[in-house]
Amino acid sequence: MAEPTPALPDRLIAHLDMDAFYASVELLRYPELKGLPVVVGGRRAHAPQLRPDGTREFFKLADYTGRGVVTTSTYAARAFGVFSAMGLMKAALLAPQAILLPADFDAYRHYSRLFKDAVRELAPVIEDRGIDEIYIDLTDVPGARDPVGHDPLGGARALAREIKNSVWRATGLTCSIGVTPNKLLSKIGSELEKPDGLTVLTMDDLPTRIWPLPVRRINGIGPKAGAKLDSLDIHTIGDLAAAPPALLAQHFGPGYSLWLHEAALGQDDRPVVTYSEPVSISRETTFERDLHAKRDRPELSRIFTALCEQLASDLQRKGYQGRTIGIKLRFEGFRTVTRDLTLELPVQDAAAIRRAAGLCLKRVDLSQRLRLLGVRVGKLSRPGDVDSTRRSRSAANAAPNGPKPENLRLFS
């Protein structure tokens, strides 16, 4: 009698996430920084200067003053405790010798496209999850379900290794991949052996690899739910799997509690969605110092206009227009306020966005000083075809200041 072969899961889903993405792209340009603590998050003024002898002088984190935050850091910087979203001045205390670099989003978008194209050549069913991560459905990729020797997942493992090599050849960058029966577990899996990791898990690995992890590792358990679970003495995913469903239902409501329970058991049947439209596109900025709506009006107005212009160029580059224009304000003391309004017709140009966002601004009490301003465009659509693009362009030309206020419909 032949030995029973362990059953292959119905699906083989991969999650791929680039390692220290922005920082790694910077290292391609400045290879002399390899292995050093490097932080991305500065402004243009922090760009390296070329010395007469051709070498570069980099900006040391110790010399930073201001209120910027770490966008990302190399693993060498993370060893000092410097992570995304930390204030740069706090980071400077932990790693004063670290090099600070400004972000260059055009470069990151370029490498994002390169790595996704490289993966697509090997495995076409890809869900784009942002600049540095994708889900890949490997189920129907030839060879993915072939055993290698006694390893039923050998084919999947080999394919994932091939994807990593291909990303490296296309970009010079490393990534980490998790391969499991579903998106939920793969997202957790890709983090387990970062950087340059490859983690292949089956349901049998749940108790040893997943259950010991903190509940927050589940994508969908945010800070609020995490704190609530902590207060219920549910700390690990295993604790969550063992929690009485009635207790969860009592604290989280029927829908979310059911999802929590299933997530802890590693169940997730969401498909890999090959095409999805972004919900909204936004730009925001934290000021160097708090600004007051009246006293700092010219500066605020300049920043506001610049944000709207950047947003309009984002929309145009990505080929979107939007009907809902929103603003986000953060006041001293961190209170955050948003307002939006929905226009009758979608817009794409800076003047129209500025005008609508200006109306939103009028609905906020601006007596407190501001530390952050953001502008968002939602209810996105694509300007139908070439003709409709042309029509909307010529309409914009006819009325260079965008739609007249009476054409704006307010929904509060």
Binding residues for ligand DCP, rule: CB under 6 A, are: 17-22, 71-72, 84-85, 131-132, 194-195
Task: Choose the one of Mg ion, ligand DCP, none that binds residue 373, judging by a C-beta under 5 to 8 angstroms depending on kind.
Answer: none
Catalytic residue selected from 32, 57, 127, 133: 133
26 is a site residue for Mg ion (CB under 5 A): no
Residues between 92 and 151 with contacts to Mg ion, criterion CB under 5 A: 132
Q: How crowded is residue 160: how many other Cβ atoms within 10 Å of its Cβ? A: 25
With CB under 5 to 8 Å by kind, the binding choice for 85 among ligand DCP, Mg ion, none is ligand DCP
To ligand DCP, the closest distance from the beta carbon of 222 in angstroms equals 14
Smallest gap from residue 112 Cβ to ligand DCP (A): 10
Member of 16, 18, 167, 375 binding Mg ion (CB under 5 A):
18
CA-to-CA separations, 383 to 324, 379, 402, 408, in angstroms, rounded: 15, 13, 16, 19
Q: Which of residues 103 and 370 has its CB atom nearest to ligand DCP in the complex?
A: 103
Choice between 163 and 343, CB closer to ligand DCP: 163
Pairing of strands 198-200, 280-291: unpaired
Q: Of Mg ion, ligand DCP, none, which one sits near residue 236, judging by CB under 5 to 8 A according to partner kind?
A: none
For residue 58, state whether it binds Mg ion (rule: CB under 5 A): no
Nearest to 23 by CA among 109, 119, 102: 102
Nearest to 133 by CA among 173, 101, 162, 86: 173
Look up residue 87 and give its DSSP letter. B
Structure tokens at 270: 């969401």
Is residue 287 within a helix (H) or strand (E), and if so which, with residue range?
Answer: strand 280-291
By C-alpha distance, which of 160, 166, 135 is closest to 148?
160
Task: Dump strand ranges (E) for 104-222.
Answer: 126-128, 133-137, 175-180, 198-200
Check the annotation: does 132 bind a ligand: yes
Nearer to ligand DCP, 75 or 256 (CB): 75
Among 13, 16, 21, 73, binds Mg ion (CB under 5 A): 21
Per-residue b or e along 65-85, where b marks 16 or more CB atoms closer than 10 Å to that residue's CB: eeebbbbbbbbbbbebebeee
Residues 166-225 that bind Mg ion (CB under 5 A): none
Q: In whole angstroms, what is the distance from residue 198 CA to residue 180 CA?
A: 11
Q: How far is the CB of 54 from ligand DCP (least distance, A)?
A: 29
- In this structure, how many other beta carbons lie within 10 angstroms of the beta carbon of residue 186? 27
On whether 296 is known to bind a ligand per the annotation, the reply is no
Query: What is the Cα–Cα distance from 131 to 110, expressed in whole angstroms?
Result: 10
Beta carbon nearer to ligand DCP, 18 or 215: 18
- Asked if 17 touches Mg ion (CB under 5 A), the answer is yes
Does residue 176 contact residue 196 with C-beta atoms inside 8 Å?
yes
Q: Cβ closer to ligand DCP: 132 or 268? A: 132
Which partner in Mg ion, ligand DCP, none is near 58 (CB below 5 to 8 A by kind)? none
Tell me whether residue 133 is one of the annotated catalytic residues: yes
Shortest distance (Å) from residue 411 CB to ligand DCP:
31
> Residue 284 binds which entry of Mg ion, ligand DCP, none, with Cβ cut-offs from 5 to 8 Å by kind?
none
DSSP state of 296: T
User: Which among Mg ion, ligand DCP, none contacts residue 84 (Cβ within 5 to 8 A by kind)?
Assistant: ligand DCP
Of 130, 111, 108, 127, nearest to 168 by C-alpha is 111
Alpha helices in 152-217 (DSSP H): 154-171, 183-192
| Cβ at position 87, least distance to ligand DCP in Å | 12
Residue 51 in 3-state DSSP? coil
Catalytic residue IDs: 133
Residues in binding site: 17, 132
